[in-house]
Amino acid sequence: MKVAAISFNDNHGISLDVEGVTHIGTGVPMELDDGSWFMELLIRTNSGTIALQLVADSPDKLAIGSDNV
């Protein structure tokens, strides 16, 4: 069984455990009108898709992966 675990800890916290993961992927970062950057993180499971919308002040801050910890 594949499981995804997501944790955000910077003044605010959210934790999410997802079972039955079939795919994890991201969209291409895009610049918004106000100069901030946006990217979707998609987690596909046996029962549906979770879409997280990430926003940052630079595209570098949207990098996801173990090399970016």
Is pTM beyond 0.85? Reply is no
Q: What pLDDT is recorded for position 1? A: 55
Q: What pLDDT is recorded for position 69? A: 41
Domains of the chain, residue spans = 22-63
30, 37 contact by CB (below 8 A): yes
**What band does 34 get if pLDDT is binned at 50, 70 and 90?**
very high
**What band does 68 get if pLDDT is binned at 50, 70 and 90?**
very low
